[in-house]
Structure 1
Amino acid sequence: MAFVDTEVSDWVVETFAITQWVDVGQLEARETLPSFHYEPPIAEDIDAKLPWEPSRDASRYHVGVTARDGGARHPGRRIASAKSWLSHDGVDRSADFLPWHGDADVTRLSPVDVSARYLLHLRSAWDHAHPDDPLNRQDVVITLPASFDEVARELTIQAAKQAGLRRVYLIEEPQAAFYAWIDRHRDDWTDRVSSGQLILVCDIGGGTTDLTLIRVKPAGDESDQIQFHRVAVGRHLILGGDNLDLAIAKLAESKLADSGLVNSLSSNQWDRLIGASRSVKETMLAESRPDAYTINLPGEGSSLLAGAVQTELTADDVDAVLLQGFFPDVDLSARPTQSQSGFQEFGLPYASDPGVTRHLAEFLSQHRRTGLEASDDQSADRPDLVLFNGGVMVSPRVRDRIVASMQRWFARDGESWRPDVLSSPRLDLAVAQGAAYYAMVRRGQGIRIAANLGRSYYMQVSDEDPSSGKPATAICLIPGSAEPGQRFRDDRHPLELQTGAPAQFPLWVSSTRLADNVGDLVDIDRLQMSALPPICTALVRGRRRDELQMNVVIESELSEIGTVGMFCVDVDSGKRWKLDFDIRSTLETDRAAHDGVGESAGIVDTETIGQCANAISATFGDSAETKPNRIVDQLQKLTETNRNGWPPSLLREFWQFLMDDEPGRRKSPQHESRWINLVGFCLRPGYGVAVDDWRVATTWRLLHGRLAFAAAQSRTESLILWRRIAGGLTAGQQQQLAAPLLASLQGKSGKLDTHESVEIWRLLGSLERLPVVDKIRLGDIAIEALPRKKNESLRPALLWSIGRLGSRQPVYGPLNTTVPADKVQSWIASLMTVQIAEPLLPLTIAQLGRMTGDRYRDVPETLRSDAAEFLESSDSSAHLVQLLRDGGSFSRDEEAAVFGDSLPLGIRLVRG
């Protein structure tokens, strides 16, 4: 954290020492606050009250040094890499899922909440030291990776607001690092750079790799002044020091296995090995290093010392893994591979290719001529200067490897050229110092880097046509030349929207197509453009079949604080709707963003759809001519298709018609039960089609706690509905459903004898976003109830629920809410000893024991082998046995059994 006292005329950038706990009873002010969050176990927590806290109870967590060190002892209670999670477009970044694979009793937080807690600590430390000048009355510049997407930028602002910071601006870390260099050379920077030069900022921190190019140009007036222009930013890469730690840990684990000391490390040993590997990296990449480094790992259980193991890594071993693995000698023509990353332990989408030099070669090949004018010296297409930043770049070996690569790529024949390295004495402070300098640049003082957006934004307006080979097309909404404060509007291509239904706009971004102008129609090239989370809105003004049409245009703006805003504007009235990024379309790490599979499964002609709408209206509308028990037969006859063959697009049309006639469910208990049944069937599984989250939210608002009749059939159908669409419910909604049901099941037998108990258990098993402690409680109750004779009719539902609650690979839920393997071990053991003959038992055991390759989720190999033999002895499916022994994916039929219902066409549930 750096600052400038603006009341001093000859101002300088100063570093603020941040007060924090560094050990038991030891409070210090240090220049950096390590970005770790730690919730100690009750037995370890002491009265470590910070000076600004009224009591220790005010916050039972630590950030900073004690969080880093305490988390090494209890990895399941520590959160790291929050910034990487904040930029992970495969999760709901506002959801509470950290720490990843955390202990069952630790509080879960979102990446936004964790980031807010770091900022709150900084604010509190500052306010304590400067009570007359609190931070919420200052201009605050927050740094972030240059490759942060727009959602991550918005969420950074949200975290700052949660921390009570009011006047916030954003700056990209590579720019800030360069501003710090300018500040250090206020008196002589003009002697060190000259017009025509190209500067590469290579920023590799703990979690991300950021590449930025800055071109030096004449000021454009008659003076001899020069200006800095940021002309290119690399794509988002979750690749950094964390990956190096993982690589060393995997090397050490393989050496231990080769020596016969261990077959496979437990998750606790693996966590400790990661911490040790971080020390190996820092030691062995230093300028002076030993010939070898010995790693010692304690054993587990009652004989910790006897079970301890150790292995030795030589300097050559480390060089082979880190330098050759992450910084290989490659040609300028080399390109990153696109295969899946081997690093999956922490749930983050690490870059598929760890070769930083391959990513650098691709970046420089694409952008080294960006920003060159026709009149410029065309030979100025290589980086003359390099500025290194980030923790990884502290290593002289890594810096030398990158400089040597650039020399080999760009030195011309007979030339001894190599890029000059701009010095940076404190890589850990440079970004903060540069941000403080930038705050003064905003006030008209200092040297400004002319930084346009550097990315062009597009909205897709047509789909690809495989039959003709015509690619999808998009409209350019924001050009790469955009600067903060500018607003753009495309009037040439108005869009026609139908009110009464949600609308979704697929978005694309490119850091290479920087010459496109607003309104240009371009072909979507996936090599040059990347998909963003879509933006969506719901222009609901009346019933769907009113078919109100509206002509709209899209307005876009780049705010002064560095975020993108988009609006849908009615051409006639001028009314504007804010378009929000559909973050929930990318809910889980193991499920990609919405890809249109549901829509592509089949389209039904409009005439048939109209006839079906009339049939639904005849059942639930004002006239209600048809009895509710006949509506499904009518729809099957009109579509000439069994209801299990209705494509998702048609199902969602039916859902909308049912919503239009929602008041009709109140005509009778029979109307309500049939209406609820159809709504759940048409909306299952709660995701898979564009803006399903909006549909699920609408259904929740209309139905939760709002049954028109107290009839048992309505209650039962509502349980079935929530089970069918559980994948679209938020964690909070799932807990609202579960709380009263869980309370009713407490005790020896609970209410297992009620006629609704089958659907109660099936609903509870489907709620994969429940806290782990609730899942464990439910699973234990079900295991205990299973062998009782009076529950014989309930056994299929109990088994189904146990399988879903303890599955190693959730159907839709986040992996961090997976029940711990040690608990599932006891469930599997119980299932193999209980004397019941149930067809569902083999599938349940396969769900609990299926091998995933993730050491945090897999049960021990010996138990999987025992379970496989148990299934073989009962003549179970060979495929289920294979899932236990070798892993893999469920078949389509097995998926349907796991889901507990037929699956809509084109929608897959369980990923391998």
Structure 2
Amino acid sequence: MTTLSPASPSATGSRFVVGIDLGTTNCALAFIDTQTSPETVQILSTPQLVAPGVIEKRETLPSFHYEFAAGEVAAADLKLPWSQPPGDRPQLSAVGVLAREQGGLNPQRLISSAKSWLCHHAVDRTAAILPWQGDDDLHKLSPVAASSRYLEHYRLAWETQWPYNPLADQQIVITLPASFDEIARELTIKAAREAGLPRVTFIEEPQAAFYAWIERHRADWESRVQPGQKILVIDVGGGTTDFTLIRVQKRTDGLCEFHRVAVGQHLILGGDNLDLALAHFVEQKYNLEDKLSHREFSSLIRKCRVLKETLLGPNPPESAKVILAGSGSKLLSSSRQYEVTREEIQNCLVDGFFPVCELKDRPASHPIGFREFGLAYAPDAAITRYLAQFLEQHRATLSELEQRANATQPQQNSVSADPACPDLILFNGGVFESTVLKDRVLHTLRHWFCQDSSGSQATEKIQELDHGRLDLAVARGAAYFGMVKRGLGVKIVAGLARSYYLQLGGKTNEALCVLPAGIEPGAEVDLQDQRFWLLLSQPVEFPLWCSSTRLTDRAGTLIPIDREQLTPLPPIRTVLKSRRETEASRIPAQLSARLTELGTLDLSCRECDGTRSWNLAVDVRSATHTDLAAHQGQGEQAGVFEDQLQQQAMKLIENTFRPADEPLLPRELMPRLSEALAAPRDSWSPVLLRSLWTTLMDVAAQRSRSAAHEARWLNLVGFCLRPGYGVAIDDWRVAETWKTISGKLTHADPQVRAEVLVLWRRISGGLNAGIQQAIAAPYISLVKTALKRGLDHRKSANKSGPTSHELSEMMRMFGAFEELSKATRSELASLAEFSLQQKNSPITMDAAIWSLGRFGQRTPVYGSLNHVLSPERVESMLAALMTCGGPIGLVGLSLAQIARRTHDRFRDLPQSLREEVVQWLNQHPETEDLAKLVLEGGEFTQESAGQLLGDQLPPGLSLMS
């Protein structure tokens, strides 16, 4: 659990303790009034619009936001019992029941599953991107802003009922999935702040559900459990699946207490996926593929939710129908109805998402389900296979914990002989409103652990715990946890859910455990038995890893880095400075680590033989955009060159740009480098390239000696730093390059101007959106002017204007700038299309073709999915490419980029259009291999990836897509 800020006296002593379930599909608020006796958990019935002009109080607030179109509803019909808060927001909008119902009629104006978007790594989660692919006239919101709207609704509703006890002054606990990463937690804090709630505490949802069970059975919970038992909490909500293991242990005073020992990986897999799968089933059953519009399919998903609840609910009928309304003047006559039987639901949803698999089975690592709406759904739909993996991953941990407990206090072994077998199970989440699905999970667990020699199951084992209403349990448990924070009630001992590690420098492939799992917030670990060399006055990186499976490692344990067990985190990158004028490049130091009350990791480096220290905090904000900052170590793994060879190469660079005994001409540098390194330039490793970049930056001032020197320097800097990521502290290198070059070219030579364009294209993957926009803006007007004037543009312009080569490089640079806004990229794509259609275009055909492939690509190389152009927008680009008469291989590559299948309905082109592209590709032998990408999806070959980038990637690096 984490807190936004240390609990203040006003918060801990507030009259009310509030628990908020910020759910994917529904929210709920529970509270305890400490001035009443007995102190009981109550649910806030929240006023909300259920129809235009109709306000009702409901126990849950559906997590939906809808913006009405002009004329769709009168503003007076959207008034709530409180005044609308000020700010930049649409006036004709609603959250809750009305938003959900209205969104069923017009889903392209509806925001749903904002919570899932908060943990989506492939988009900018702080950007206004929702509704995903919504109507053009919408006032879009970021996932953070949408989440904030639900919290704000609760704050305003609360303050209407208790105006003298503002919600911000109460003790507030918000629930999050146990598997939410640090970034998603930070974004939820930001949403709370924006809603006017500056102080909140987080609790994991499975824990909150278990607290709800304790609260429900506060009088007799000890008689329902016994020491050594393991409790599995399985939480499948609207958007996520979470597993948590809790162990019952006996304290020294003889009482029982609960220890949370493990949490599962983050899975975007829940009720939304069931609805989506059922919609796909209906679509395939009635042969509706490519017949339903995006709007109709979205409406079908909403209706399939009701269909699912009907056929998986109590006393289900043999079949049920879903009616899909048409559009236009013949709305009623064009309505269509589709029937689904109970048996089909069993096959599609029960067997599809909860198959009776074996304990040794593992989920697929590559996507086999649907990739709709841009969300990064879990690769495998089978929740039971993920459960099998979770229990097997923690078998060793559970076994070790049992041995430790039995050594100190005998008779604490699990009731089950198998350490991976849970004794009790607590279901949570809206999916388990269906007893059919609960029974399937229980049946599967008993199939794994409770069969006798005859194969029959012992049904008395693995019993279910009951915590009351599933839709309110998490909020109730959060409120109860607030009282536990005050020292009242039964506490779950739940420290850090993961172990954290620091990768050691040099060539080692080992990591040191700096924070062990189970540690409590505020605790500090002092690794005084180990000493390290600390580098000063130069950029350094501290690579961090975490593990949710290695839960028994102790602080100071050194382990090999295993990608199966460790997950990389955004590293700490900095320069450790000292005030001393003469400072050694490294000093001996010791390390300490602390888990803050905020849930962040603080590292402190302390000089061994002195008083100096440096404090470091893990910066999760740097990864808010797309997690590109999480260094994977690809570049370093590609190998290094001998130091002597590197020194020779660096000396050649210095001899080119600084006066020396053996000066080199700029045109001689590249051949001499290849000769000195005894390797062609395409085989130079990323580590070597970055070393050469350092030397180039040392001689940056000398590039002004001549236009040829400046052109060669720019060319080599871009070559050494391409593609702008892949090696430690590349973000710092790119920033330094930007500061060194931006607006500071010395020579106005056309070759110099062209080389700086090539440089920006080469390192575009490391340039943020602001820098890309700043670079592109002045060039866009030049390209527009040149295209209007045609090939002879310089006859009526200043003779020092851009050449055709420069204009072509501008267009290539635009294509590589994937962080430009969607509107800007669409405009630039139009310029490229126009260039192809002009016989006298000043932009070469190859540049226009290449850039169109990057503008229209379905999967970005490094950019955010929210910048991908719509299928409707790229259709004209395909036509322009297929009729341009350009080089077959280059045209085919661009066509494949634009038409490549992603299995995301909003990104994929219509089947008919993709088949048209496949037909074109199959007509040319050199592009036939690209047809599979268009029909089935997949990844480009390394050779094609180089063409796609416009440069061969350095060895060991691969595209991010």
- Fold-level similarity (TM above 0.5): yes
Q: Using the TM superposition, name which of 297-306 and 171-180 deviates more.
A: 297-306
Q: State the Cα distance separating 1:573 from its structure 2 match.
A: 4.3
- For the residues of structure 2 that align with 1:552 and 1:891, how far apart are their CA atoms? 45
The answer to whether the Cα contact below 8 Å between 1:787 and 1:836 also exists between their aligned partners in 2 is no
Q: State the Cα distance separating 1:576 from its structure 2 match.
A: 1.9
3-state SS in 2 of match to 1:485? coil
- Choose which of 666, 690, 695 in structure 2 pairs with 1:652: 690
Query: Within the alignment, does 1:897 sit opposite 2:942 as a pair?
Result: no
**Alignment-derived partner of residue 312 in structure 2:** 285
Sort the Cα spacing of 1:135 and 1:546 in 2 relative to 1 into closer, same or farther, 3 A. same
- Choose which of 867, 874, 879 in structure 2 pairs with 1:829: 879
- For the residues of structure 2 that align with 1:25 and 1:770, how far apart are their CA atoms? 42
The answer to whether the Cα contact below 8 Å between 2:836 and 2:880 also exists between their aligned partners in 1 is no
Query: Within the alignment, does 1:235 sit opposite 2:271 as a pair?
Result: no
**Alignment-derived partner of residue 485 in structure 1:** 522
Query: Within the alignment, does 1:329 sit opposite 2:360 as a pair?
Result: no
- Choose which of 53, 65, 90 in structure 2 pairs with 1:25: 53
Sort the Cα spacing of 1:230 and 1:811 in 2 relative to 1 into closer, same or farther, 3 A. closer
Query: Within the alignment, does 1:558 sit opposite 2:605 as a pair?
Result: no
Sort the Cα spacing of 1:217 and 1:764 in 2 relative to 1 into closer, same or farther, 3 A. same
Query: Within the alignment, does 1:532 sit opposite 2:568 as a pair?
Result: yes
Sort the Cα spacing of 1:661 and 1:561 in 2 relative to 1 into closer, same or farther, 3 A. same
Structure 1 residue runs without a partner (length 5+): 466-471
**Alignment-derived partner of residue 457 in structure 1:** 500
**Alignment-derived partner of residue 441 in structure 2:** 402
The answer to whether the Cα contact below 8 Å between 2:290 and 2:910 also exists between their aligned partners in 1 is no
Provide, for residues 658-686 of structure 1, a one-character-per-residue CA deviation record: whole Å limited to 9, x for no partner.
23333334555554443332222211111
Sort the Cα spacing of 1:730 and 1:878 in 2 relative to 1 into closer, same or farther, 3 A. same
Query: Within the alignment, does 1:65 sit opposite 2:90 as a pair?
Result: no
Sort the Cα spacing of 1:179 and 1:655 in 2 relative to 1 into closer, same or farther, 3 A. same
- Choose which of 34, 41, 45 in structure 1 pairs with 2:62: 34
Provide, for residues 540-579 of structure 1, a one-character-per-residue CA deviation record: whole Å limited to 9, x for no partner.
6599x99822444443222234444444445444322424
Provide, for residues 307-339 of structure 1, a one-character-per-residue CA deviation record: whole Å limited to 9, x for no partner.
655432110110122222222234555544444
The answer to whether the Cα contact below 8 Å between 1:389 and 1:427 also exists between their aligned partners in 2 is yes
- For the residues of structure 1 that align with 2:37 and 2:702, how far apart are their CA atoms? 74
Q: Which amino acid aligns with 2:83?
A: W
- For the residues of structure 2 that align with 1:675 and 1:92, how far apart are their CA atoms? 34
**Alignment-derived partner of residue 387 in structure 1:** 426
Q: Which amino acid aligns with 2:413?
A: Q
Q: State the Cα distance separating 1:583 from its structure 2 match.
A: 6.9
- Choose which of 464, 485, 489 in structure 2 pairs with 1:446: 489
Q: Which amino acid aligns with 1:268?
A: R
- For the residues of structure 2 that align with 1:766 and 1:488, how far apart are their CA atoms? 45
- Choose which of 6, 11, 14 in structure 1 pairs with 2:42: 14
Q: Which amino acid aligns with 2:30?
A: A
The answer to whether the Cα contact below 8 Å between 1:341 and 1:350 also exists between their aligned partners in 2 is no
- For the residues of structure 2 that align with 1:128 and 1:735, how far apart are their CA atoms? 45
- Choose which of 484, 501, 516 in structure 1 pairs with 2:553: 516
The answer to whether the Cα contact below 8 Å between 1:751 and 1:757 also exists between their aligned partners in 2 is no
**Alignment-derived partner of residue 173 in structure 2:** 141
Provide, for residues 4-48 of structure 1, a one-character-per-residue CA deviation record: whole Å limited to 9, x for no partner.
333446433222233444333334443322223444555647534
Q: Which amino acid aligns with 1:170?
A: F
- For the residues of structure 2 that align with 1:861 and 1:410, how far apart are their CA atoms? 46
**Alignment-derived partner of residue 18 in structure 2:** none
**Alignment-derived partner of residue 469 in structure 1:** none
Q: State the Cα distance separating 1:898 from its structure 2 match.
A: 2.4
- Choose which of 473, 479, 484 in structure 2 pairs with 1:436: 479
The answer to whether the Cα contact below 8 Å between 1:456 and 1:480 also exists between their aligned partners in 2 is yes
Provide, for residues 781-805 of structure 1, a one-character-per-residue CA deviation record: whole Å limited to 9, x for no partner.
3323432233155333222222211
**Alignment-derived partner of residue 343 in structure 2:** 316
3-state SS in 1 of match to 2:953? coil
The answer to whether the Cα contact below 8 Å between 2:175 and 2:204 also exists between their aligned partners in 1 is yes
Sort the Cα spacing of 1:39 and 1:668 in 2 relative to 1 into closer, same or farther, 3 A. farther
**Alignment-derived partner of residue 356 in structure 1:** 383
Provide, for residues 578-616 of structure 1, a one-character-per-residue CA deviation record: whole Å limited to 9, x for no partner.
243567679659x99654333333311112222333333
The answer to whether the Cα contact below 8 Å between 2:124 and 2:624 also exists between their aligned partners in 1 is yes
- For the residues of structure 1 that align with 2:551 and 2:902, how far apart are their CA atoms? 42
3-state SS in 2 of match to 1:429? helix
Sort the Cα spacing of 1:63 and 1:693 in 2 relative to 1 into closer, same or farther, 3 A. farther
Q: TM-score, normalised by structure 2?
A: 0.84
Matches within 5 A, 1:201-216: 201-216=233-248
The answer to whether the Cα contact below 8 Å between 1:533 and 1:581 also exists between their aligned partners in 2 is no
Query: Within the alignment, does 1:427 sit opposite 2:454 as a pair?
Result: no
3-state SS in 2 of match to 1:491? strand
- For the residues of structure 1 that align with 2:130 and 2:770, how far apart are their CA atoms? 16
- For the residues of structure 2 that align with 1:869 and 1:767, how far apart are their CA atoms? 30
- For the residues of structure 2 that align with 1:302 and 1:642, how far apart are their CA atoms? 68
Q: TM-score, normalised by structure 1?
A: 0.88
- Choose which of 814, 825, 828 in structure 2 pairs with 1:778: 828
- Choose which of 183, 188, 203 in structure 2 pairs with 1:156: 188
> Aligned Cα RMSD in Å?
3.6
- Choose which of 312, 336, 342 in structure 1 pairs with 2:369: 342
Q: Using the TM superposition, name which of 119-128 and 199-208 deviates more.
A: 119-128
Q: Using the TM superposition, name which of 333-342 and 870-879 deviates more.
A: 870-879
**Alignment-derived partner of residue 417 in structure 1:** 460
The answer to whether the Cα contact below 8 Å between 1:36 and 1:78 also exists between their aligned partners in 2 is yes
Q: Which amino acid aligns with 2:569?
A: P
- Choose which of 848, 856, 859 in structure 2 pairs with 1:809: 859
Query: Within the alignment, does 1:252 sit opposite 2:295 as a pair?
Result: no
Provide, for residues 115-165 of structure 1, a one-character-per-residue CA deviation record: whole Å limited to 9, x for no partner.
334333433443444443333333221211112233333333333334343
Provide, for residues 698-721 of structure 1, a one-character-per-residue CA deviation record: whole Å limited to 9, x for no partner.
323333344455555544333222
Q: State the Cα distance separating 1:860 from its structure 2 match.
A: 3.0
- For the residues of structure 2 that align with 1:766 and 1:192, how far apart are their CA atoms? 62
Sort the Cα spacing of 1:81 and 1:717 in 2 relative to 1 into closer, same or farther, 3 A. same
- Choose which of 737, 758, 779 in structure 2 pairs with 1:720: 758
Sort the Cα spacing of 1:537 and 1:455 in 2 relative to 1 into closer, same or farther, 3 A. same
Sort the Cα spacing of 1:57 and 1:813 in 2 relative to 1 into closer, same or farther, 3 A. closer
- For the residues of structure 2 that align with 1:483 and 1:453, how far apart are their CA atoms? 6
3-state SS in 2 of match to 1:518? coil
Q: State the Cα distance separating 1:745 from its structure 2 match.
A: 5.1
Matches within 5 A, 1:652-801: 652-666=690-704, 669-708=707-746, 712-744=750-782, 749-750=787-788, 753=793, 754-755=802-803, 756-791=806-841, 793-801=843-851
The answer to whether the Cα contact below 8 Å between 1:569 and 1:575 also exists between their aligned partners in 2 is yes
Query: Within the alignment, does 1:378 sit opposite 2:413 as a pair?
Result: yes
Q: State the Cα distance separating 1:652 from its structure 2 match.
A: 1.2
- For the residues of structure 1 that align with 2:213 and 2:859, how far apart are their CA atoms? 48
The answer to whether the Cα contact below 8 Å between 2:371 and 2:905 also exists between their aligned partners in 1 is no
The answer to whether the Cα contact below 8 Å between 2:571 and 2:631 also exists between their aligned partners in 1 is no
- For the residues of structure 2 that align with 1:331 and 1:839, how far apart are their CA atoms? 47
- Choose which of 48, 53, 61 in structure 1 pairs with 2:84: 53
The answer to whether the Cα contact below 8 Å between 2:871 and 2:908 also exists between their aligned partners in 1 is yes
Provide, for residues 64-121 of structure 1, a one-character-per-residue CA deviation record: whole Å limited to 9, x for no partner.
3344334434444444333333334566655665544455665665544443343334
- For the residues of structure 2 that align with 1:592 and 1:879, how far apart are their CA atoms? 33
Q: Using the TM superposition, name which of 680-689 and 866-875 deviates more.
A: 866-875
Q: State the Cα distance separating 1:479 from its structure 2 match.
A: 1.4
